[in-house]
Amino acid sequence: MATQLMKGNDAIIIGALAAGCRAYFGYPITPASEIAHAAAIHFPALGGTFIQAESEVSAVNMLYGTAGMGIRSMTATASPGFSLKQEGLSYCAGAEVPAVVVDVQRGGPGLGNIAPEQSDYFQATKGGGHGNYRLIVLAPNSAQEMCDLTGLAFELAEKYRNPACILTDGFVGQMMESVDIPEPKALTTDHRSWAVDGTPATRGNLINSIYLDPYELEAHNLKLQAKYERCEVEDVRFEESDIEDADLIVVAYGIVSRVALSTIALARAKGQKVGIFRPITLYPFPTKRLAQLAEKTKKFLVSELSTGQMVEDVKLAVGHTAQVRFFGRCGGVVPTGNELLDQYDAILGEEG
Amino acid sequence: MKVYEKPNALYGTFERKTGPALESTHYCQGCSHGNVHKMIAEALVDFGVQDRTVFVSPVGCAVFGFYYFDTGHIQAAHGRAPAVATGIKRANPNSIVLSYQGDGDLAAIGTAETIHAANRGENITVIFINNAIYGMTGGQMAPTTLIEQHTTTTPGGRVEGIHGNPIRMCEMISTLTAPTYVERVAIGNSKHIMKARKAIRKALQIQIEGRGYSFIEILSTCPSGWKMTPPDARDWMLEHMTKVFPLGVFKDESKAREPGSWDRVIKPFEPEAVGAYLKDFVGATVADPSQSKPQEMHCKFAGFGGQGILTMGLFWAQLAMRAGSKVSWIPSYGPEMRGGTANCQVNIADERIGTPLVEEPTMLAVMNQPSLEKFEAEVVPGGVLLVDTSMVKTAPTRTDIKTVLIPASEMANQMGTSKVANVILLGALTAATDAFPFEYVIKTLPELIKKKSLVEMNIEAFTRGYQYVREQQNG
């Protein structure tokens, strides 16, 4: 197996190519531009296509076009660009087009800054555009996962015929780690039952999201909803560390989960039983598992690079069976290990 | 005798349509869409391309193109049809792609997509229905609405000073280099209609032959939106619209374009070819089984931009990775970028690495004054501090750490280039920490350096740094 030290942003393109992605459409934006730079080299070299679109909006619509033709395709952007792409993603979801989008989150709102945040969580996981829909949202926390989860995003996007999103941040994108390059495998999926690919076999197909009749549109929405329910059963992913005996569970994803990982041994050395729960799929969110854990562990700490977004889902999951605290930094500031350790002291020192 | 009937590229009955009357269209009496649909359908059949046609339905009255055309359909968001068409055509250059758009769609909300698809010279056919009004949404002002024309959003008539002037798309697009064929026609009297038919057929023919982008603007009537009878609407269009939007060919380079020259193709996925390419590109890292892993280290390398700080950290990480360690490397980013230092942080461990950020370095290498001032206090007691004394004028103050001083930049200058100061420091670091045996680095370093002509000089630099520290240790 080939292994190489590479940036998370580059690993996304390696993962995409290995997964059979053939087209990339993008618009320059920091800190996601490196993904476009890598795509501009590799896609044409492999007979695929790279287009620097005139706008984020055009990029996502080109993606809608190729993905609607049954070709694995992607776009990548950072937060302000992700806002612009919401229209296109709503259409992809409505027309059941399996597109893949990467959001390397940066500071907001507005122009914000180019430093990392996790403040697009709501937009990514709750259906940031109009209408009843969700993106399938994957949150890598290493360069290897940037590669592997991009591959998985294409699989899940096709499985559910729904757009999938890699929700990451500037740190995971900039970080270099060793990455095992996956072995590309032939695709076993056949798009001809639904895609419109300009051949006689698909002439009768229709990629569309307009349903004028209210009952038809309601039925279409319920069909989408049934897919999401299936996804919530079959494709929830998470990672747990040291939770078996934990008095306190830290819930974090992306770069924050890495900071948390560094604190566990230190906390345990002090006699604090701390564990980590890391959602890998932010949608579908691991609600059931968190509810289960709350039966035993009564204290949760959610840490994010935001003023509190994922914490709402954790609270919904555990209800009143456990206490949920929040510690967030934003604007590009990342919580340090010591800051998290201080939080553990405070929470575990409390009565009850 | 020629029999005129509904072309086969239109469905016999319109089963996709909701409601009653599956044999008639949803278009109003006197609307031009029906004529244009028929001309397109007839051409698709005559040219034998119905099977490979993809019709991009816009937002507007023609959104229901899929009710009528027996072709593939991809419906697009308002104004985005040319971008969607771009994706479609790239995905299958053999497909025949029609971007069929109204004036609001094409010349207002989708102006950028329109201009840029034209400017890229996508091998598609754009059919632009210009009826100077938003039909479906209720008769509002279009970008092509005439001065003094009454609409629901210009109830007193369009006023230049308030609403701007009607926009002329053919004129704009014909200034671009890439488009092959740009013509404006009208659904007026039979002579006009024959011209429109000819233009549509020519545009499709250009696409079929791979000669590039065509733009056909069709002046059309909207009796409902204009609140006129169909005959009055036709007369009004011919009398008023053709004055603002003159008919004719604005650009025709079809003869000059090589047939089949359009080759922006997405080739199918070949897993083996991709696998071979990726392996070749990333270059497999071969772990050295004879080399034991170094001890756990959390390192910070800091200095000015341009001193090779990031490369120094990267080499250090790669040496450890090839010795079998887990590593992470991250450049200064976010708030870390302030304060006149560029830095990178490297973690080396046996097990999975938690945070890639180094808050408490066990090893700090500094190549400028601000870096020493900023980071010296962070080093853990017993850690190693390496200072390029050519660049740092004050002495370190900590006494609970191991300090290694080396005039790396001066030593590099003696070798003829300041650029190897970072590698001199690597040599010093290796000797100071005993992280790797000297021979292992000498063997591995050449594999890490991309420019092979620089290998020798780097080996020399590394050796000098290493020996400098060893002599200090022995002396």
Q: Residue B283: its chain A contacts at CB < 8 A?
A: 2, 4
- The angle, 0 to 180 degrees and rounded to 10, between the axes of the packed helices B438-448 and B455-474 is 160
Q: Residue A210: its chain B contacts at CB < 8 A?
A: 63-64, 75
Q: Please check the confidence at residue A2 and state whether its pLDDT lies above 90.
A: no
Mutation test of the interface with chain A: which of B71, B176, B278, B280, choosing the one with the most A Cβ atoms within 10 A?
B278
Is residue A214 exposed (0-12), middle (13-18) or buried (19+ Cβ within 10 Å)? Answer: exposed
Q: Could B285 and A2 be called an inter-chain contact, meaning their C-beta atoms sit closer than 8 Å?
A: yes
Q: Could A171 and B330 be called an inter-chain contact, meaning their C-beta atoms sit closer than 8 Å?
A: yes
pLDDT for residue B409: 96
pLDDT for residue B333: 61
Domain A3-234 falls under CATH 3.40.50.970:
yes
Q: Please check the confidence at residue A207 and state whether its pLDDT lies above 70.
A: yes
Q: Which two tokens stand for residue A189?
A: 């999926």
* pLDDT tens for each residue of A208-265: 999 999 999 999 999 999 999 999 999 999 999 999 999 999 999 999 999 999 999 9
Q: Residue A212: its chain B contacts at CB < 8 A?
A: 18
Q: Please check the confidence at residue B345 and state whether its pLDDT lies above 90.
A: yes
Using CB atoms, pick whichever of A178, A186, A337 lies closest to residue B355.
A337
The number of C-beta contacts closer than 8 angstroms across A and B is 267
Domain boundaries, chain A: 3-234, 239-349
| Count of Cβ atoms closer than 10 Å to residue B471 Cβ | 10
Scanning A147-186 for CB atoms below 8 A from B yields 170-171, 174-178, 181, 183-186
**CATH number listed for the domain at residues A239-349:** 3.40.50.920
* pLDDT tens for each residue of B286-313: 778 888 899 999 999 999 988 999 999 9
Is the CB of A214 inside 8 Å of chain B's CB atoms? no
User: Which residue is associated with the tokens 């790279």?
Assistant: A50
Query: Do residues B242 and A47 lie in contact, with contact meaning Cβ atoms separated by under 8 Å?
Result: no
Scanning A110-129 for CB atoms below 8 A from B yields 115-116
Query: Do residues A278 and A240 lie in contact, with contact meaning Cβ atoms separated by under 8 Å?
Result: yes
Burial B41-53 (b: 16+ CB within 10 A, else e): bbbbeeeebbbbb
Is residue B289 exposed (0-12), middle (13-18) or buried (19+ Cβ within 10 Å)? Answer: exposed
Using CB atoms, pick whichever of B264, B275, B335 lies closest to residue A115.
B335
Average pLDDT over residues B204-210: 96
- Closest-CA distance, B92 to chain A, in angstroms, reads 7
pLDDT band of B20, cuts 50, 70, 90: confident
Q: Please check the confidence at residue A345 and state whether its pLDDT lies above 90.
A: yes
Q: Residue A200: its chain B contacts at CB < 8 A?
A: 51-52
Is the CB of A46 inside 8 Å of chain B's CB atoms? yes
Q: Residue B378: its chain A contacts at CB < 8 A?
A: none
Q: What angle do CA B407, B410, B415 make, to 5 degrees?
A: 125
Task: Please provide the average confidence, as pLDDT, over all residues in chain B.
Answer: 94
Question: Which phi and psi angles does A231 have, rounded to 5°?
Answer: -60, -40
pLDDT band of B6, cuts 50, 70, 90: confident
Query: Do residues A129 and A158 lie in contact, with contact meaning Cβ atoms separated by under 8 Å?
Result: no
Using CB atoms, pick whichever of A2, A42, A185 lies closest to residue B284.
A2
Q: Please check the confidence at residue B338 and state whether its pLDDT lies above 70.
A: no
Query: Do residues A16 and A184 lie in contact, with contact meaning Cβ atoms separated by under 8 Å?
Result: no
pLDDT for residue A351: 61
Using CB atoms, pick whichever of A64, A184, A209 lies closest to residue B271.
A184
Q: Could A210 and B53 be called an inter-chain contact, meaning their C-beta atoms sit closer than 8 Å?
A: no
Domain boundaries, chain B: 33-252, 290-474
Is the CB of A62 inside 8 Å of chain B's CB atoms? yes
State the DSSP string of B32-58: SHHHHHHHHHHHHHHTT-GGGEEEEE-
Burial B237-267 (b: 16+ CB within 10 A, else e): bbeebbebbebeebbbebeebeeeebeeebe
* pLDDT tens for each residue of A150-162: 999 999 999 999 9
pLDDT for residue B306: 85
Query: Do residues B129 and B220 lie in contact, with contact meaning Cβ atoms separated by under 8 Å?
Result: yes
Bridge partners (DSSP) listed for residue B102: B129
Topology adopted by domain B290-474: Pyruvate-ferredoxin Oxidoreductase; domain 3 (3.40.920)
* pLDDT tens for each residue of B73-122: 999 999 999 999 999 999 999 999 999 999 999 999 999 999 999 999 99
Number of residues that this document lists for chain A: 352
* pLDDT tens for each residue of A23-68: 999 999 999 999 999 999 999 999 999 999 999 999 999 999 999 9
pLDDT band of B3, cuts 50, 70, 90: low
**CATH number listed for the domain at residues B33-252:** 3.40.50.970
Q: Could A25 and B95 be called an inter-chain contact, meaning their C-beta atoms sit closer than 8 Å?
A: no
Q: Could B112 and A203 be called an inter-chain contact, meaning their C-beta atoms sit closer than 8 Å?
A: no
Q: What is the percent of chain A where pLDDT is above 70?
A: 99
Mutation test of the interface with chain A: which of B266, B318, B321, B358, choosing the one with the most A Cβ atoms within 10 A?
B266
- Closest-CA distance, A338 to chain B, in angstroms, reads 9
Instruction: List, edge to edge, every strand of the sheet that includes A176-180.
Output: A3-7, A176-180, B326-331, B342-349, B297-303, B363-366, B384-388, B402-406
The half-sphere exposure of A103 on its side-chain side, counting CA atoms within 13 A, is 33
Average pLDDT over residues A123-146: 98
Scanning A81-100 for CB atoms below 8 A from B yields 87-88, 91, 95
The ipTM assigned to this model is: 0.96
Q: Residue B75: its chain A contacts at CB < 8 A?
A: 95, 206-210
Q: Residue B64: its chain A contacts at CB < 8 A?
A: 210
Bridge partners (DSSP) listed for residue B327: B348
Average pLDDT over residues B142-153: 97
pLDDT for residue B339: 54
Q: Residue B84: its chain A contacts at CB < 8 A?
A: 61-62, 64-65, 68
